[in-house]
Amino acid sequence: MVNAVGGPARARVITLLACVLALNSADTSTIGAVAPQLKGALHINNAQIGLLSSVTLLVGAVFVIPFGLIVDRAKRVPILAVSVVLWSAASMLSALAGSYSTLLLTRLLMGAVTATAGPAIASLTGDYFPSRERGRIYAYILGGEIAGTAIGFTISGFAASLLSWRAAFILIAIPGFFLGRSLFRTLPEPRRGGQSRLAPGVVDLHAAVAGIDADWTWQEGQVDPQEEIAHQAVRDRGVQADPKLVLRTDPARMGIVAAARYVLSIPTNRLLIGSSALGYFFFAGLATFLVTFVEGQYHVGAAKTSLILLLLVIASVIGTLVSGRVTDALVRRGAVEARMWVPAVCYIAATAVFIPGVLGHSVTPALWFDIAGAALLSAANPPLDAARLDIMPAPLWGRAESTRTVVRSLAQALAPIVFGLMADLINGARLEQSPIGTQPHKVTQHSALGLEYTFLIMLVTLGAAGWFMLRARHTYAGDIAVAAASQEVAAARGRA
């Protein structure tokens, strides 16, 4: 693993950032994993369970905007380290909650403190790693998000069934205190604008970030053109920046509203935000009801369901890693639009292969289509995330990510509600036509039937996500040129 990512220094950065995402997604998944125990202990219903997950995302969407501004102006590593410790404290408070209202309050706190993750990780990734490798690097980091989801479902569910739902929250909370300490002590703050990029083979992380023994000397505000390979590629092709979109003001002094307005003025960024939100919308709905669907649709028990979930997680990790590596190889050969059409192909192909997987009523061959769909759905994310940094000036990376996170979080928060309501409506209509008492079906089978139609209908969101990415192919190169021109203006301002 160390050799694959380019040395021990790089491995340390990637591992720590991936662990942050893993902890975040594990906590989110824990609510679903302990839902049966919560319902019995606190005497709550499915709607209240869904609200526990939704409020975390909604509050995060509110707080991510100011945190994006802070990330662009202050030291990111200490902010991230303190936030992780606060996540763990909030998770501990969740374990101590004696009522539903208290538990809901702790989830509100969780949403507020986790809002730093997206902007901080995006900004740090851009400053640690060059453009030509960001797809592959993002693949490793996003692997943590996938692993965290699996941990939340499996380990938390096991702890809740063996001990109690409180034990599950404590189990998720403990690693965060150690992770926060590791971030603060071992991860140095990189200089902004790519002045602390980690070359392959670096051993001493702190020396590399400090610029000791560098092969060439940085100048304030400048970015090595060999590092920002996407910018260099569009220059070589003679792509001109739209002068109306080139940022003439100092991005570091832009307020929240002005920064958001500029971020949304970039055509490719609007399409990327829409595509990402739709992809995460489907994934959030799928993850919420996946266990119920698998048990009812394929008629399997808890043990086989856990095995199926494990296979889907492995497929997601493989899809993520392969996509990042392949896309970066294409970009290095000058095909910068690969970061647009690879996600487009993945989303559209996932839409196609999920159809037989959802319609199947036996584990095989339906499972193979589901595995392919999981791999393709995850494969869309690394190039998409890398592309977001290519089209934004470095001083705006945090606020650009916070703008995207707002839309994505809203989509993720709405997904369980929309999927659940649609499945209930379909189930209600089916039960009126065919009462359970007169048919040899179990309640879980009726639930799976409602989810079957719901998943098929909601696949349109993945198709739309792919369509957005296809449209973005036509604006991507021009917007890369705009970002490059904006950084040149900033460099000239710094020299002046």
The domain defined by 232-496 carries CATH number 3.40.630.10: no
Judge whether residue 335 has pLDDT over 80: yes
Going by pLDDT thresholds of 50, 70 and 90, the confidence category of residue 438 is very low
Judge whether residue 218 has pLDDT over 50: no
Judge whether residue 155 has pLDDT over 60: yes
Side-chain half-sphere of 254: how many Cα atoms within 13 Å?
Answer: 24
Judge whether residue 409 has pLDDT over 70: yes
Same topology between domain 1-218 and domain 232-496: yes
Judge whether residue 294 has pLDDT over 70: yes
CB atoms within 10 A of CB 444: 14
- Residue 265 confidence (pLDDT): 93
User: Residue holding tokens 């995060």?
Assistant: 60
CA proximity to 47, closest of 288, 278, 279 = 288
The better pLDDT of the pair 442, 42 is held by 42
Phi-psi region of 164 (alpha: psi -120 to 50; beta: other; left: phi over 0): beta
pTM for this structure?
A: 0.81
- Residue 226 confidence (pLDDT): 42
Report how far residue 154's alpha carbon sits from residue 8's, in angstroms, rounded to the nearest whole number: 30
**Residues making up the chain, counted from first to last:** 496
Judge whether residue 104 has pLDDT over 70: yes
Q: Give the mean pLDDT of 433-462.
A: 67
Report how far residue 97's alpha carbon sits from residue 99's, in angstroms, rounded to the nearest whole number: 6
pLDDT digits (tens, 9 = 90+) for 222-256: 444 444 666 777 777 788 888 898 888 877 778 88
Question: Exposed (0-12), middle (13-18) or buried (19+): which is 318, by Cβ within 10 Å?
Answer: middle
- Domain 1-218: top CATH class: mainly alpha
3-state secondary structure 418-432: HHHHHHHHHHHHHHH
Give the pair of three-digit tokens for residue 374. 């999981």
CB atoms within 10 A of CB 46: 12
First to last CA, the chain: 44
Cβ(233)–Cβ(334) under 8 Å?
A: yes
Report how far residue 227's alpha carbon sits from residue 132's, in angstroms, rounded to the nearest whole number: 7
Mean pLDDT, the chain, rounded, equals 83
Report how far residue 66's alpha carbon sits from residue 356's, in angstroms, rounded to the nearest whole number: 44
pLDDT digits (tens, 9 = 90+) for 120-145: 998 898 888 887 788 888 888 988 88
At 150, the amino acid letter reads A
Cβ(398)–Cβ(193) under 8 Å?
A: no
Judge whether residue 310 has pLDDT over 70: yes
Phi-psi region of 130 (alpha: psi -120 to 50; beta: other; left: phi over 0): beta
Distance of CA 456 to the CA centre of its chain: 23
Q: Give the mean pLDDT of 259-280.
A: 93
Cβ(353)–Cβ(376) under 8 Å?
A: yes
pLDDT digits (tens, 9 = 90+) for 3-57: 777 778 888 999 999 999 999 888 877 887 787 788 788 887 766 777 787 788 8
The better pLDDT of the pair 164, 346 is held by 346
- Domain coordinates in residue numbering, the chain: 1-218, 232-496
Q: Give the mean pLDDT of 440-448.
A: 49
Q: Give the mean pLDDT of 488-494.
A: 70
Going by pLDDT thresholds of 50, 70 and 90, the confidence category of residue 347 is very high
Q: Which residues are within 8 A (CB) of 24 and not within 5 positions of it... i.e. 6 or more apart?
A: 87, 114, 117, 145, 148
Helix ranges (H only) for 34-133 are: 35-42, 46-73, 76-96, 100-113, 117-128
Report how far residue 379's alpha carbon sits from residue 321's, in angstroms, rounded to the nearest whole number: 8
Lowest-pLDDT range of 97-111, 230-244, 429-443: 429-443
Judge whether residue 213 has pLDDT over 50: no
Cβ(146)–Cβ(320) under 8 Å?
A: yes
CB atoms within 10 A of CB 377: 28
**CA torsion, ordered 410, 411, 413, 418, to nearest 10 deg:** 130
